[in-house]
Structures are given as C-alpha cells and as structure tokens.
Chains A and B, each alone.
Chain A
Amino acid sequence: MNLTLHVWRQKNAADKGSWETYNAKDISPDMSFLEMLDVVNEGLEEGGTRPISFDHDCREGICGMCSMVINGRPHGPQKATTTCQLHMRSFKDGDSITIEPWRAKAFPVIQDLTVDRSSFDTIIQAGGYISIRTGSAPDANAIPVGKVDADKAMNAAECIGCGACVAACKNASAMLFVSAKVSHLAQLPQGQAERERRVLNMVATMDEAGFGNCTNTFECEAACPKEISVSNIALMNKDYLKAALTSGE
C-alpha cells in the first residue's frame, strides 16, 4: 500500500521545527509501524536527506523507548499497543498519517520524534524505590504478601515509563506514571516504611519538572499501552493528602 506521511522534523532542541511530507510506497500490511519508518528512512538517506530520528529499542512492547503521536494519538490507533507493536494492517492504502513527538514542557524535543524523558528518571530517583542495601534482605517468604495485594501491585508495576500518558494529557500531567510507582510500592508491606516521604518527594519532583496537573479526563489511561488504571491516581492523591497533613518530614 501507499501512504502519505506528515512528519515533524526538528534538527535539534534550538530549531523551530516544521512539518514535512513524505511518501511511503509499497508498504506491506505485515510491517510494523517502525519497519515502515525504516523503509522511509532508507529512501530518505538514498536521496541525501537526514533520516527521521525516533527512539526505539526492544520492538516488542516492553522497553518503553518508542514514543510517537500517530494521527493525534500517542502510540497510534490500536488500544493497549506500543508504536513498535502497531502494524500497518491498521491502516488503509492511500491513508495520510501525521507523526509527531510527545509534546510536553517536561519532555523537550531532542531531534524530530526523539524527546528527552529524563524527568521521569528524576522522579523515580526522588523516591520510587525501597531503600534496602544489597545483602540485608530477610528470607523472601518472611514477608508474606497476599495474592490479591501482589496482583494489584503488579498491575501498577507493569508501567513501561514510555510517557504516552503525558503526551495524551492536555495538561501534560505525569500523574499516571508517578501514581503507578507510588501505588506499586504502597500496596506491598515492604513499601510501608517510606510510604509517606516517597509520595511527598515524588510529587514535589514531578511538579518541579514542569508537568501539569490532573483534571480527571482519563486520556492517560486510554492511551496507556499497558492499560495502567487511573485508580492509581486516586490512591496517590489519598496518600499524598494524608502524608501532607500528618507527616513529620
């Protein structure tokens, strides 16, 4: 099939950027979206044009590296699917497709579709862990965790940190990402000792990084390739309020 691509091109962070149009010819429906871009890029290179820069790595939907807004939707039209797992059979011959980067103040564009998501790392560094030194752990079965709690924690822990939630949100809020980590650790007995300071520090760091606020439109949940639930945000808000009122820190 043949497609028309409208792609955001931006040489570097300082460049203003612009839309460019490319033709993608003889695309097989069996190709993944990124393989389609590989083909387009080989063509661009042959013609002496700098290829479109995009982040990708595992190409099996788990590393969280790929990140592009396709026809206005982070990771494109297919529910619960990362860009790398999206296949061209989701499109029709003759379609026009717009491709742009995650757009958020806290995710500055590096080049084309590649953005800087280091603010996510900074948030995790502010408390997205249980402070335990290697070697100091008790026997694993000494801390029982009921199956229901373990499953809930796992549901939240499945977040791949891609940032689609931020890209989908009109406020560029990172609440779904942050709450997924807060909620994962808050639902485990191991996470209790630092529960209050964790949520306070992570939320403060999130605000400093320039992410917006949550206004409960749930676009984040709809865009999340791992279907992380907005109920995590509710849990985080509850924990935050409690910690803000009662924490001695």
Chain B
Amino acid sequence: MTIQSNVPSGPVAEAWDKHRFEMKLVNPANKRKHKLIVVGSGLAGASAAATLSELGYPVDCFCFQDSPRRAHSIAAQGGINAAKNYQNDGDSVYRLFYDTVKGGDFRSREANVHRLAQVSVDIIDQCAAQGVPFAREYGGNLANRSFGGAQVSRTFYARGQTGQQLLLGAYSALSKQIEAGAVTMHTRTEMLDLVIINGQARGIITRNLITGEIERHVADAVILATGGYGNVFYLSTNAKGCNVTATWRAAKKGAYFANPCYTQFHPTCIPVTGDHQSKLTLMSESLRNDGRVWVPKEAGDKRPANDIPEAERDYYLERKYPAFGNLVPRDIASRSAKEMCDAGRGVGETGLAVYLDFADAISRLGEDTIRARYGNLFDMYNRITGENPYKVPMRIFPACHYTMGGLWVDYNLMSNVPGLHVLGEANFSDHGANRLGASALMQGLSDGYFVIPYTVGNYLATNDIEDLGTDHAAFDEAENAVREKMDTLLSINGDRSVESFHRELGRIMWDGCGLERTKESLETALTKIAALRDEFWKRVRVMGDGEGLNRSLEKAGQVADFLEFAEVMCHDALAREESCGGHFRGEFQTPEGEALRDDANFCHVAAWQFNGVGTEPTLHKEELSFDNVKLTTRSYK
C-alpha cells in the first residue's frame, strides 16, 4: 500500500478553499443513511460528533469515562492559539502557519498546518458563541497573551483552565445533539477492535465496562479521536486512563503508525517522590517567565537550597542560552534539566529535579505580585509537595506531556485504511516533531469542528459502501479475537500485577527512548521490551472474570498493547538518525550539544506498517516538501 498525502495542487494558501469546493457533497436527504462512529469525546471527538450530527449523519460516540466531559483535553491549562490579530501586533494566518512549521522543526506537512492556521479564527468565533467564558478586557473584547515564546499575542485563554472550558463547550454541543436524538452516546465503553470489510473500516468491537458485554457496532466510516500514547512512559502528565489501545488495535488491522518517536517532554512538572508515584502533574510553563532555573555547581551538593550561596549556583539556562535564558523552548529546557541530573547535580531526595527559584522575582516585584500571577500554581505545588514556594525554590523535572506521532492520515484526515479517520492527538499530522504551546487545543477543535465534517462527506460520496449488518463474518472474527485475548489474560493467573509491568515498561522507555536516545539505548530497550512482554504473558495476574466491572482486566489489555506499541516507537527512533524537535538522538548533535537535523535524508514522515508482534515493522516514507517556509536551523543562543 502506498501512502499519498492527497494535498491539493496549487498555492498552499488556496489549498483548503479549493479542496472544499472540489470535494463531493452528500445529498442532505442521504446523510441520515450514513451512520458514523466516533471513538473518544475529547475536544476532537466531541466537536466532530456534534458537528457531524448537526449535518444530519446519525452518530454513535464512545468514551471510556463515565461522561464525555471527563476526557483529558480538560486538563490543558495555557490557552488556544488563533490568528485573529485582535492585538494588531502583526499576526496573520501566514505567520501562525510559519511559526507552527518552524516550531515543528520542519517535520510537518505544510498544507495541513496552513489549514490549521486558517480555521483557527473560526474556532474562537464558535467557542465564544457557545458561551466559553474566555478572558476579556474591560471593554468587552477578548483578551490575549503571548505564550510559549511567541512574539505576538495570539493566545486566547480562560484563566488557567482553557482546556476545561473548551471541552465543556464541545460537551455542551454534544449534549444538545444527544438530547435531539442525533448522537447516541456510549459512556464507560472501551473500543477493543476495528472491523474492516472489503478493505474499508466498517465498525468496532467494544466492551461495556459496567456489564462486561462485548458489543458490535457497524457504520459507514469510523473516526478515532482517542488521544496520545504518553502513558507508554507510565509516568506522564496524561490522565491515568489515557492509552494507546484504540489506535494500536487499528494499527494491527493495517493502519500505519506515523512518527511514534516524536514525544514532547514538558519541563515544569512536579518531580517524582517515590515508587508509589502514579502520575506527574504539570504546572504552566508561564512560571518560567519569572522563575530562574538552577542547580548547585558541585555534583552531590545536598545542602538545602537556601543554604547554597549565590556563587555556588549554576543558572545553567541563562549561562547556555543568554538570548532566551529561562524561556528557551520546552525541548531544550527539558533536555538541559536531564543533563544536569545525569551529571549528579540534580536536587531533592531523588536527585531527579532542578530548582525553579522565585526569590529574585519576589524581591523585585513583591510577594503580592507573584501571588497575583501564579497564586493558583503555587497553591497546587504546595498541596502536592507540602513545601512553600514563596520561601524555598520549587523543584521541577520534565515529564512526557504530549505525543506528536499518531496514526498516519492524509490531508483529509483519513488513514491508509479507507473509511478510518483519525483526529486530534491520535493522528500525527500538524505538529511535526515538536508542538508549540497552545496548539493542541487548536488542532483538536480544528479537526473536529471544521475539517472532518467536510472530508468525511467526500469519502461517503465518492466510495461504494455496501449495506451490511453486524452479522457479517468479519464481526464474528473480530469479536472472537477480542474474547480470546480476554480469556487468555484471565487464565494466566500469574503472580505479578498489571501495574508492575506497566511501571517497568515505563522505566525501560524512559531510559531507552526518553529525552535523549542513542542507538545503544534503543537496542537495549528493544531487548528488554520483548523480554518483559514474554514475562507479561506468563506471569500477569488478572483478578475476577469478564462479567461486570473489572478494572484489572481493562488495564491488562491496555498494558498488553503498550508492550507491543513500545517496540514501534523504538524502531522509529532508531531509524531516524537525526535529532529534531521532540526526538533527540545523542549521536546527532552539534559540538554545542544542540539538535542536528539531517534534511537530506530524513525530511520525511515515517509511517510504520505492523507485521506481527515482535516482528520488525515496515517503513513507508512520505517525503515532505517545504515550498513556503525555508528550511532553517532553530537557534536560541
């Protein structure tokens, strides 16, 4: 199978308008005959389900939580970008496009990114009309801030809870459609397989998490909006329930997984305190606007922070990057912190943390100003660590936060499997090797509100889709496979908990395929993953049965998928012999320790085809061309 991006010909700025006209429409009276499945109810899933049902398609929407309002989009803090140029500070669609391509370290598809920038303005209109309480100025207009080092103020926000408010907006649109009978919502339901018939995605197999029932759902197209795979590291800022199961099981059915090695580590998370740690909490990176990052100059200096004199502190970001200082991009800040800890200069009990110090800002601006700016974050830090950051420096450490890779999709957001569409963090499309701050919310809503409603229509209008039911043999086969896998998990009766396997996999991935990877670390990880997976299928202990609520069974299935998926991640990281964005290979760096891209050999999307568990996947390349944004090297010196 070859992969074709299906980007319309002609100038990038006209591509989406041209494409919208060229796409075929489904007759309004026929839309009700095309049932659609949407898996996931976060920003991308909820907005897609709501909008598609408004158009007249009957939609079945699925989520594993007890309500669609719980999806992890809700946790995004900072904001959402849009090229409104309300501040008159020089922003434009083209500038947002340019910044996003550059920020993605030239590994994204220009046409997709341009479309994203173009529809960003419609998203803000839509959300404001829904009643999303964005921050306002006294005159009643929307307020903006500059975010993540952007030189223009294009970020819209709702206090530190922008993700929550945007998700509740999409949830309200979805609720309106559920009430109207246009969307059938299936909560506490997990997708366990994709059903492909005549080469087309035609349905899914699910498990009702309360009754344990295995169910079949048929549709004319399947849309996955199931988020990222950051929990492959066990510890991440993702919700505990985030998993790779839906996308990985689609990958096992033939969908290509693109760029899985692109993972983003957020520098300002609260560090690990012990083996019991179940997740990591992110604090907004706005903290770096006033906080100074440092470690002791001497390795192994265990004195309390306030006892270390100024002369014995190393403000390493300010030292290494005088132009940007503490505001260097996420990948650089994260990698530098790891470098310091690897050199034995980390702080705190575990030595896996660096200081973020507000003492200077407090003496310059006063405690009240700092409280007004960051009070809620300081309170959160205090609640979790028991320390008062007004008196002692915060301790921070990077954690996996977002995954740029995902299922490969073309310009229409359709995977290489006809009918299977993938939205939001679950696809690979818009962020290249590195996502900019406030761009995840933008992409989720762009895909759901403004892209998929057009492109799915074109798919339905231009393909023959056979009329069939869930009694088709392919459903039997998929359901049997799901049952078999569950029965196997339940019958092993081993002596190790599911959680312990996940934790061990996380450590392997952190060491082997984390902030910095090398050929050696990746090869070690691959050996260890295979061994751990073997052990899992021999020793895992899953209590209870398949009837009714069984959390260890759910989790076991998800960890089993992570144990397979992790290998593709390592293969991708091994094959990409360059450093770019969220993928830093130790062997490929400048003498100053900066990422060294290899545009001659790696200016492509790596889309991996599954060939069986433990078998090396096949690489398909989509070459990327940069006709508008000139390939340059990022520099923050």
A binding-site residues for B, Cβ under 8 Å: 12, 28-32, 34-36, 38-39, 42, 45-46, 48, 50-51, 53, 55-65, 78, 81, 85, 87, 89, 110-111, 114, 116-118, 120-121, 124-126, 128-141, 143-147, 150-151, 153-154, 157-158, 160-161, 184-185, 188, 190-191
Binds A, one of B161-169, B310-318, B584-592: B161-169
B551 touches A134 (CB 8 A): no
A63 touches B70 (CB 8 A): yes
9 A-B contacts (beta carbon < 8 Å): A30-B274, A38-B499, A39-B276, A53-B551, A57-B72, A110-B210, A125-B175, A185-B131, A190-B130
Tell me if B199 counts as interface (CB < 8 A to partner A).
no
- B142 contacts across to A, CB distance below 8 A: 140-141
B70 touches A145 (CB 8 A): no
Tell me if B470 counts as interface (CB < 8 A to partner A).
no
B179 touches A51 (CB 8 A): no
- A116 contacts across to B, CB distance below 8 A: 66
Tell me if B232 counts as interface (CB < 8 A to partner A).
no
A-B contacts counted at CB < 8 A amount to 216
Given A110-B549, A138-B125, A35–B136 Cβ distance below 8 Å? no
- A81 contacts across to B, CB distance below 8 A: 383
Shortest B457–chain A CB gap in Å is 14
- A61 contacts across to B, CB distance below 8 A: 380
| Bound CA span A246–B383, Å | 48
Tell me if B392 counts as interface (CB < 8 A to partner A).
no
- A150 contacts across to B, CB distance below 8 A: 133-136
A190 touches B129 (CB 8 A): yes
A135 touches B126 (CB 8 A): yes
- A140 contacts across to B, CB distance below 8 A: 84, 124-125, 127-129, 134, 142
Tell me the residues in window 41-65 of chain B with beta carbons closer than 8 Å to chain A beta carbons.
47, 50-51, 54, 65
Quick one: closest B residue to A49, CB to CB? B543
Tell me if B239 counts as interface (CB < 8 A to partner A).
yes
B537-557 contact mask (Cβ, 8 Å, vs A): 1 or 0? 000010110001101100000
A126 touches B179 (CB 8 A): yes
Checking A59, A124, A185 against B239 with a beta-carbon cut-off of 8 angstroms, the contacting residue is: A59
Checking A62, A128, A133, A185 against B161 with a beta-carbon cut-off of 8 angstroms, the contacting residue is: A62
Binds A, one of B277-285, B519-527, B563-571: B277-285
Tell me if B241 counts as interface (CB < 8 A to partner A).
yes
A118 touches B70 (CB 8 A): no
B binding-site residues for A, Cβ under 8 Å: 47, 50-51, 54, 65-72, 74-75, 84, 86, 122, 124-131, 133-142, 158-159, 161, 164-165, 168, 171-173, 175-176, 178-179, 185, 187, 210, 237, 239-241, 273-274, 276-279, 281-282, 380, 383-386, 449-450, 453, 497, 499-500, 541, 543-544, 548-549, 551-552
- B70 contacts across to A, CB distance below 8 A: 57-58, 63-65
A30 touches B497 (CB 8 A): no
Checking B67, B124, B549 against A161 with a beta-carbon cut-off of 8 angstroms, the contacting residue is: B67
Interface centre among A39, A64, A110, A140 (most CB of B within 10 A): A140
A133 touches B128 (CB 8 A): no
B130 touches A132 (CB 8 A): yes
Given A57-B240, A110-B210, A128-B175, A158–B122 Cβ distance below 8 Å? no
- B84 contacts across to A, CB distance below 8 A: 140
Quick one: closest B residue to A115, CB to CB? B66
B172 touches A128 (CB 8 A): yes
| Bound CA span A136–B133, Å | 18
A190 touches B131 (CB 8 A): yes
A62 touches B74 (CB 8 A): yes
- A151 contacts across to B, CB distance below 8 A: 136
Shortest B327–chain A CB gap in Å is 24
Given A42-B497, A55-B66, A87–B178 Cβ distance below 8 Å? no
A58 touches B74 (CB 8 A): yes
Given A30-B274, A125-B179, A146–B75 Cβ distance below 8 Å? no
B67 touches A129 (CB 8 A): no
B131 touches A188 (CB 8 A): yes
Shortest A17–chain B CB gap in Å is 14
B159 touches A154 (CB 8 A): yes
Quick one: closest A residue to B68, CB to CB? A121
- B125 contacts across to A, CB distance below 8 A: 137-140
